[in-house]
Amino acid sequence: MLARQFIPIGANVLKNSAKPLFTLLSYNLLSPSYMWPQVYTYVPEKYKDWNYRHKLLEQELLDKYRADIMCLQELTSEDYSNFWKKALQTNMNYGSNYIAKTPPQYWKRPVEQMDGVGIFYNLDKFEFISRSGIYLNQLLGVFSNNELEYLEKKPVTLTDGAGNQVGEQSLLQILKSKNQVALFVSLKHKETGNVFVVINTHLYWKYDDVKLTQCMIIMRELARIIEKHLVGLENVTDDKIKILFTGDLNSTSDSLVINFLKGQIVSHDNLNVINPMKPYLEHCVYDDVPEELFTHTCYSGKLKGIFDYIWYHDTDFKLRRILSGREVSHELAALNQFGLPNENHPSDHIPLFTEFEIL
């Protein structure tokens, strides 16, 4: 196993900072329910075993990384309730919040095995303010009549897991049928009094228009949360609110989702869509990282790419260090392995682990 390096970013980063620091991690754990036998044919059975993988996850999250804020995707309800919530609370004095997806029609397992997203936070550094969990298929009311009309008329070609065309539905129909969620947690940083709004999500894995629309829903809900619930709190002014948007966006750097988050106008027919949170979010960790540090963050057989992100504004936070991902690519090449998980890595994603300075 090649150890991943915690790489300093920028000049003078090795000097002690006068500004407060915190660490942040985003990680898709690979739910045991999604260890599809037809996908993970390259993984030996013993490394598919959930108990084996869970021990590695425990080593990573409770010992190796211990990030001040952890944003986890594909975390099952039972694993959150029975293990992670208690383990981090007891051993590390962490608070946490969680939202599970609603089970899809094909779901035959117990509902407790449905996955969702969770946010864990160091109570020595942060004070909990509020949380909001949303089901993305239930927030279509954030769109105007013109936008809804577009969603209803926009056709999307449906494909199966192999990419074969199997039919067509409207974009609105698909959005209503998907069960993705997002979790918003507001935290007060004790040392500075800043309010962090941390968002964690896991967008649908295909159809760019679906992912873009899901991301639009999250950004519009974020704008509502800031306006309705945070601005006006005692000692909370607009400049004190800082946003951290994390998750598995299932989107590459040239995708509609990423262009939208960067603040570019996305045009569809006579509709021009722009991110309402551009004043708070227009920077991601990869903007400051040399390209050679990451080949992929997801190594799921044929599906590989940089899909995991942390977004923020560079007047709020400065990236000081990031855990390099290139060692994982080199390891797989040296071992002649097709993807993850394997003996050393419990998920098909690698954790995106960072250190930030608060500006």
- Identify the CATH number of the domain in which residue 99 sits: 3.60.10.10
| Cβ-defined contacts of 86-94 (< 8 Å, 24+) | 87/58, 87/62, 88/61, 88/62, 88/120, 91/62, 92/62, 92/66, 92/122, 93/122, 93/123, 93/124, 94/70, 94/120, 94/121, 94/122, 94/123
- Say which residue the tokens 């800082």 belong to: 242
Cβ 264 vs Cβ 230: under 8 Å: no
Q: What is the distance between the alpha carbons of residues 218 and 216, in angstroms, rounded to a whole number? A: 5
Q: Residue 131: beta bridge partners?
A: 185
Domain count, the chain: 1
pLDDT at residue number 12: 60
pLDDT at residue number 13: 65
Residue 80, Cβ neighbours under 10 Å: how many? 23
What are the structure tokens assigned to 250, written together?
Answer: 């299932």
Q: Which domain holds residue 154?
A: 4-11+20-356
Q: What is the DSSP string of 12-65?
A: TTTSPPSS-EEEEEEEE---GGG--TTT-TTS-HHHH-HHHHHHHHHIIIIIII
Phi/psi at 232 (5° precision):
110, -15
pLDDT by residue, tens only, the chain of 359 residues: 678 999 999 866 666 778 999 999 999 999 999 999 999 999 999 999 999 999 999 999 999 999 999 999 999 999 999 999 999 999 999 999 999 999 998 899 999 999 999 999 999 999 999 999 999 999 999 999 999 999 999 999 999 877 899 999 999 999 999 999 999 999 999 999 999 999 999 999 999 999 999 999 999 999 999 888 776 677 777 788 999 999 999 999 999 999 999 999 888 776 788 999 988 898 999 999 999 999 999 999 889 999 999 999 999 999 999 999 999 999 999 999 999 999 999 999 999 999 999 99
Distances in Å between the alpha carbon of 49 and those of 14, 89, 108, 126, 231? 40, 26, 20, 35, 47
What's the DSSP call for residue 149? H
CA-based radius of gyration for the chain: 20
pLDDT at residue number 10: 81
Q: Tell which phi-psi region holds residue 223, choosing left (phi > 0), alpha (psi between -120 and 50) or beta.
A: alpha
Cβ 280 vs Cβ 233: under 8 Å: no
Q: What is the distance between the alpha carbons of residues 136 and 161, in angstroms, rounded to a whole number? A: 23
Residues 6+ apart with CB under 8 A from 116: 75, 76, 77, 80, 98, 99, 100, 101, 181, 183
> How many residues are given for the chain?
359
Distances in Å between the alpha carbon of 27 and those of 40, 136, 243, 272? 19, 20, 18, 33
Cβ 183 vs Cβ 75: under 8 Å: no
Distances in Å between the alpha carbon of 309 and those of 10, 57, 191, 199, 358? 19, 20, 26, 11, 19
Residues 6+ apart with CB under 8 A from 138: none
3-state SS string over 60-104?
HHHHHHCCCEEEEEEEEHHHHHHHHHHHHHHHHCEEEEEEECCCC
pLDDT at residue number 43: 98
